[in-house]
């Protein structure tokens, strides 16, 4: 560097120059090829399901070495912040963004219960027809399940079974196990800006906590935290600190620092072996069949979690995190992978649909790049014998109000962590007559001769309010006027089209072609719809669409 001395008037009178010294070298754990291909696979996964973004991390579960870490949207830290760019968008989402993981978290619930001896792998759990009431609210499964074994309950991702398991553990054991698996504190992986996440119920435990924590709500985790936790199963019950720095090497080639990651036992080797077999069943015949690898055995768990929206003070009914976290090969795990997809398109928003295929692509690539020999193909469940299971059930049904299980404390924390993903404010629908609405959208007038169209006007009466769906976004929305249009054409089973991004006129025409009724709320473009795109529907059912003006 050069140092120039100046007088009081700024005139230079002295100059000192020092030649740079050769510094020490940092050796990272990142594998260049795996990093490049992981970024490519994540881009494809996000594009395939029309998602907002995503995160993928690969780690060696036995050593904690991070082989790849990719985020979308990304940024180039070498470039200065451009005009209009917000600093909050320049973050490493893999370690900074805390989210509610949903069903992936059931791995911790079941591991803790088996370790504590309150649940045996051979136990049967009564799923009560797929519904359980907690604190006055009903939580449902994706199917009407009766008595299931522990393995079957995990394979179909039963909420009822997980909640009952959490009850068996009790508050103290459940919270202790969550902390033992590394949640609620910083990992210290060597990356700036790490978030500790949060654990609900530690201060204000309530009966509702038993309905939330065991299935991955009321807890905020980072993708790296959940990867480290699932790696406990892969690493014979030991938690090992994920890290990105391997060595520091001097100019003479001497190793100045060799990373010695923290290790601690969380569960016994026996419990980890039991969980390996259970999680392999999830991939072989459960919600994660799309994560099955060619030539390698794999194990893991899917997750589909509603996103909390601080703009409306509740969970958004059509915005999700879809995730999968797993490891391979099962007999001798060499890699662990987590994939989190942010807001995949409705209809493809389950973990088994959006994240599991990305795990398959990334894991197969990494294993071959590392020259890991394929293990023996599991023939216990031949393709023809596998039961038909949906990709992943919704963690909670739409008629269950998620936010009602959350205390003000939890809602405040959720708002903090989700503040980067606020939705724009909802526009109110002007109080107009249905004829004016029709004219704006080139629809037939009320006395139309088209007998296939029946238009009715719903005013802001108590009757109208009762017809407004409970899972529509509320916030500070005034009671809107709803135009319900019924089309008599079309019979039989249909596939619900994707209306998002379309105006009222275009969405109306799509529904008309299929013989569907539709209720509009707001104005502008469709941002949310019910049923979800790709859902099987019948002619004549009532659909809902929320519209907003896109700035």
Dihedral in degrees, nearest 10, Cα atoms 100, 104, 110, 111: -100
- Asked whether 131 and 160 are in contact (CB, 8 A), the reply is yes
Backbone angles phi, psi at 14, to 5 degrees: -150, 155
Q: How far apart are the first and last CA of the chain?
A: 49
- 390: exposed, middle or buried (C-beta count within 10 Å: 0-12, 13-18, 19+)? middle
- What is the full DSSP assignment across 193-209? T----EETTSSS--TTH
Determine the distance from the C-alpha atom of residue 143 to the mean position of all C-alpha atoms in its chain, rounded to a whole number: 21
Tell me phi and psi for residue 460, to 5 degrees: -80, 60
Helix axes 269-285, 223-234, angle to 10 degrees: 110
Residue 425's Cα: distance from chain center in Å? 23
* pLDDT at 13 (0 to 100): 78
- pLDDT computed for residue 483 by the predictor: 31
Q: What pTM was estimated for this model as a whole? A: 0.71
Helix (H) or strand (E) holding 483: strand 482-487
pLDDT at 411: 66
pLDDT of residue 429: 26
Q: What is d(CA 299, CA 129) in angstroms, rounded to the nearest whole number?
A: 27
pLDDT of residue 551: 61
- Catalytic residues, by residue number, are 103
CATH dotted code for 434-548:
3.30.10.20
What is the rounded distance in angstroms from the CA atom of residue 425 to the CA atom of residue 197? 27
Domain extent listing, the chain: 27-74+92-421, 434-548
| 346: DSSP letter | T
User: CA torsion sign, 98 to 210 to 299 to 61?
Assistant: positive
Fold of 27-74+92-421: Beta-lactamase (3.40.710)
pLDDT in tens, the chain (551 residues): 678 888 888 888 777 777 777 889 999 999 999 999 999 999 999 999 999 999 999 999 999 999 999 999 988 888 887 777 777 778 899 999 999 999 999 999 999 999 999 999 999 999 999 999 988 888 888 888 999 999 999 999 999 999 999 999 999 999 999 999 999 999 999 999 999 999 987 777 888 888 899 999 999 999 999 999 999 999 999 999 999 999 999 988 899 999 999 999 999 999 999 999 999 999 999 999 999 999 999 999 999 999 988 887 788 888 999 999 999 999 999 999 999 999 998 888 999 999 999 999 999 999 999 999 998 654 444 443 333 333 333 333 333 445 556 666 666 666 666 655 533 332 222 222 233 333 333 333 333 333 333 322 333 333 333 333 333 332 332 333 333 333 333 333 467 788 888 888 878 888 887 778 888 888 888 888 888 877 767 777 888 888 888 76
Q: How does strand 542-548 pair with strand 517-522?
A: parallel
Of 105, 87, 109, 104, nearest in space to 96 by CA: 87
The upper half-sphere exposure of residue 509, i.e. CA atoms within 13 Å in the direction of its Cβ, equals: 7
Asked whether 124 and 158 are in contact (CB, 8 A), the reply is no
Write out the DSSP string of 140-207.
E-SS---EEEHHHHHHTT-HHHHHHHHHHHHHHHHHHHHHHTTTTS----S-TT----EETTSSS--T
3-state DSSP call for residue 33?
A: helix
Q: How far apart are CA 161 and CA 148, in angstroms?
A: 8
Report the distance separating Cα 201 and Cα 413, nearest Å.
12
CA torsion 42-46-48-50 (nearest 10°) is -170
Who's near 382: CB < 8 A, 6+ residues apart?
Answer: none
Q: How far is CA 274 from CA 271, 279, 344, in A?
A: 5, 9, 32
Nearest to 435 by CA among 464, 457, 465: 457
CB count, 10 Å around CB of 255? Answer: 11
What is the per-residue pLDDT for 504?
A: 85
User: Could you give the CA distance from residue 340 to residue 354 in angstroms, rounded to a whole number?
Assistant: 9
């Amino acid at each position: 560097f050069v140092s120039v001395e100046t007088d009081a008037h700024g005139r230079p009178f002295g100059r000192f120059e020092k030649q740079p010294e050769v510094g020490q070298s940092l050796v990272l754990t990142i594998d260049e090829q795996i990093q490049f291909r992981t970024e490519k696979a994540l881009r494809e996964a996000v594009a395939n399901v029309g998602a907002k973004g995503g995160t993928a991390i690969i780690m060696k579960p036995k050593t904690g070495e991070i082989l790849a870490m990719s985020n979308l949207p990304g940024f180039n830290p070498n470039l200065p912040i451009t005009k209009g760019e917000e600093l909050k968008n320049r973050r490493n989402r893999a370690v900074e963004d805390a989210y509610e993981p949903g069903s992936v978290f059931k791995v911790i619930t079941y591991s803790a219960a088996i370790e504590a001896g309150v649940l045996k792998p051979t136990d049967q759990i009564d799923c009560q027809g797929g519904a359980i009431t907690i604190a006055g609210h009903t939580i449902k499964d994706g199917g009407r399940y009766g008595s299931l074994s522990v393995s079957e309950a995990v394979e179909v991702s039963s909420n009822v079974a997980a909640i009952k398991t959490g009850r068996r553990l009790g508050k103290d054991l459940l919270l202790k196990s969550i902390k033992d698996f590394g949640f609620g504190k910083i990992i210290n992986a060597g990356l700036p800006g790490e978030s500790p996440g949060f654990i609900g119920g530690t201060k204000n435990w309530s009966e509702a906590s038993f309905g939330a924590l065991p299935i991955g709500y009321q807890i905020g985790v980072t993708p790296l935290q959940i990867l480290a936790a699932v790696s406990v199963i892969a690493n014979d019950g030991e938690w090992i600190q994920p890290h990105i720095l391997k060595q520091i090497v001097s100019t003479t080639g001497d190793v100045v620092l060799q990373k010695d990651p923290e290790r601690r036992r969380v569960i016994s080797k026996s419990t980890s072996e039991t969980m390996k077999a259970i999680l392999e069943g999830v991939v072989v015949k459960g919600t994660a069949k799309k994560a099955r690898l060619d030539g390698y055995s794999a194990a893991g768990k899917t997750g589909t979690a509603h996103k909390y929206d601080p703009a409306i003070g509740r969970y958004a009914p059509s915005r999700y995190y879809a995730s999968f976290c797993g490891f391979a090969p099962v007999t001798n795990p060499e890699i662990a992978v987590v994939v989190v997809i942010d807001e995949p398109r409705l209809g493809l928003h389950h973990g088994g649909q959006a994240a599991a295929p990305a795990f398959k692509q990334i894991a197969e690539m990494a294993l071959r790049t590392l020259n890991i020999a394929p293990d023996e193909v599991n023939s216990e469940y031949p393709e023809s014998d596998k039961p038909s299971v949906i990709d992943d059930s919704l963690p909670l049904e739409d008629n269950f109000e998620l936010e009602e299980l959350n205390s003000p404390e939890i809602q405040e924390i959720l708002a903090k962590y989700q503040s980067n993903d606020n939705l724009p404010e909802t526009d109110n629908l002007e109080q107009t007559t249905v004829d004016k609405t029709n004219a704006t959208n080139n629809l037939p007038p009320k006395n139309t001769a088209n007998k296939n169209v029946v238009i009715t006007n719903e005013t802001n009466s108590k009757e109208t309010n009762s017809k407004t769906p409970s899972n529509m976004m509320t916030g500070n929305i005034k009671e809107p006027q709803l135009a319900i249009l019924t089309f008599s054409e079309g019979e039989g089973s249909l596939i619900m089209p994707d209306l998002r991004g379309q105006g009222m006129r275009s969405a109306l025409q799509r529904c008309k072609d299929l013989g569907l009724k539709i209720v509009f709320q707001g104005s502008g473009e469709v941002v949310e719809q019910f049923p979800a795109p790709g859902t099987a529907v019948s002619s004549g059912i009532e659909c809902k669409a929320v519209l907003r003006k896109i700035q």
